[in-house]
Amino acid sequence: MATRKSESQQTSDAAAMMAPFQDTMTSMQSQVARMMTGNAELARRWMDGWSRVMTELMDFSGRRLQDNLDTLERAARCNDPGEALRMQMSGLESTVRVYADEAGRIYDLCSKTGQECMDAFDDNGDAAGTKPSPSRHAAE
């Protein structure tokens, strides 16, 4: 004759069956929370970096505009064709140098932003190696 389990035994058996599922869900919730924290920090660092780049580009544009206006004023006052040619050559050399310097500054800002974004992943993981990483996500 089959014996019927008591209600407390049935509850205990159900809890034992559910324990692995609950452990998995708790672990997943913890990992999702870490990833969301990492992604929020990543987004913040990305926006901060691009804000710095855009500020630099706006400042550069303002400086270039002022330099161009100054050059036009000098050209308007120039009466000597030889001096005008020297001024034009000097302005061209200066422009090439200034744009090359600006390209270096923009490169440095972009590199810094990229590194800060990569660091967002390193700062929000755990010691068990389950931290989110761009290389792992890119491979999936």
Write the pLDDT tens digit of every residue in 82-114. Answer: 999 999 999 999 999 999 999 999 999 999 998
Neighbours of 74 (CB within 10 A): 13
Q: Is the pLDDT of residue 133 over 80?
A: no
Question: Could you state, in order of their start, the residue ranges of all structural domains in the chain?
Answer: 41-123
Evaluate whether 111 touches 49 at the Cβ level (below 8 Å): no
Report pLDDT for 125.
Answer: 45
109, 45 Cβ separation under 8 angstroms: no
Q: Report how far residue 140's alpha carbon sits from residue 134's, in angstroms, rounded to the nearest whole number.
A: 10
- Mean pLDDT confidence for 15-26: 77
